[in-house]
Amino acid sequence: MPSTLQKPPRWIPILAWVIAILVFFPIFWMALTSFKTETEAISTPPSLFFVPTLENYTDVFARSNYARFVWNSIAVSFGSTLLALAFAIPAAYAMAFFPTKRTPSTLLWMLSTKMMPPVGVLIPIYLLFKTLGLLDTVTGLLIIYTLINLPIVVWMLYTYFKDVPGEILEAGRVDGANPIQELFLLLLPLAVPGIASTGLLSVILSWNEAFWSLNLTSSQGAPLTAFIASFSSPQGLFWAKLSAASLMAIAPILVVGWMSQRQLVSGLTFGAVK
């Protein structure tokens, strides 16, 4: 049977490669700079050929407790994602299969909170955290990351759940399944790709978040975003050391993203073709 799919125009793969190179180039240049001396890092024109040095990485390790920043990032990113999923799964299930006339407006309101500039609520949240003793703590960041990612997690899970055939759940009800069994034994196994991609996206958003971590933490509860910012000193920017610190900060999430790219793409395209 001959294929009815037409080959894409030749310029589309070329355009895709150009976009990929443009996106990857800053990371490549940052990695290159991290192995230069400070003099070579700011030289004009930039030097492509040089003797690599690990001096910047040695200085970064000597100056900061890198392991503590990594642990804080892992704790707040994965912890906030698990908390967000724990709240979002029942909420998305209820809105997808038991909608009311206010469900669309509730979803729109939740999404609208993501459009609010964070600086608008910085002062009240800062004072609240100060009163509760949550400043510069992992618990404080865990709470704030869960709250800021919860709307997008609910929205994505709601979209995935809507693509699950309702007949499957109805068959479960006919067989006597209660709502909890319906959720955990029927719906969640069918929506695993969507839940996995939603979780991965939440981890990435939490890992890269900088506004709240810079304003609410300083040392003990600070994640890797604060670790990078700590290399901006009043004496100026030391580009080679800053590049080394930045590469060390993004390396874990790059590895996670690379290893889970198939699940991420599979989940993001879940239900795209019917």
A 10 A CB-CB count for 151 gives 19
Q: Tell me: the pLDDT tens digits for 182-201? A: 888 888 888 888 888 899 88
Mean pLDDT of 119-133: 92
pLDDT band for 125, please (50, 70, 90 cuts). very high
Q: Which contiguous run of DSSP H or E holds residue 237?
A: strand 236-237
Is a pLDDT exceeding 90 seen at residue 75?
yes
Average pLDDT over the chain reads: 86
Report how far residue 262's alpha carbon sits from residue 175's, in angstroms, rounded to the nearest whole number.
35
Answer whether residue 117 shows pLDDT above 70.
yes
Query: Tell me, what's the pLDDT at 145?
Result: 94
Kind and range of the H or E element at 21?
A: helix 11-34
- With 0.75 as the threshold, say if the pTM is over it: yes
Phi and psi at 237, nearest 5°, equal -95, 130
Q: Determine the pLDDT at residue 273.
A: 47
- The pLDDT value given to residue 197: 85
Contact 169, 98 (CB under 8 A): no
Tell me whether the omega of the peptide bond preceding residue 46 falls within 30 degrees of 0, making it cis: no
Confidence of residue 268 (pLDDT cuts 50, 70, 90): low
Q: Which pLDDT value is given to residue 44? A: 82
CA distances from 146 to 31, 43, 90, 126, 214 (A): 31, 43, 15, 16, 17
> Is the pLDDT higher at 11 or at 265?
11
Average pLDDT score over residue span 101-116: 87
Lowest mean pLDDT: which of 9-13, 232-236, 261-265? 232-236
For residue 113, pLDDT beyond 50 = yes
251: alpha, beta or left, given left = phi > 0 and alpha = psi -120 to 50?
A: alpha
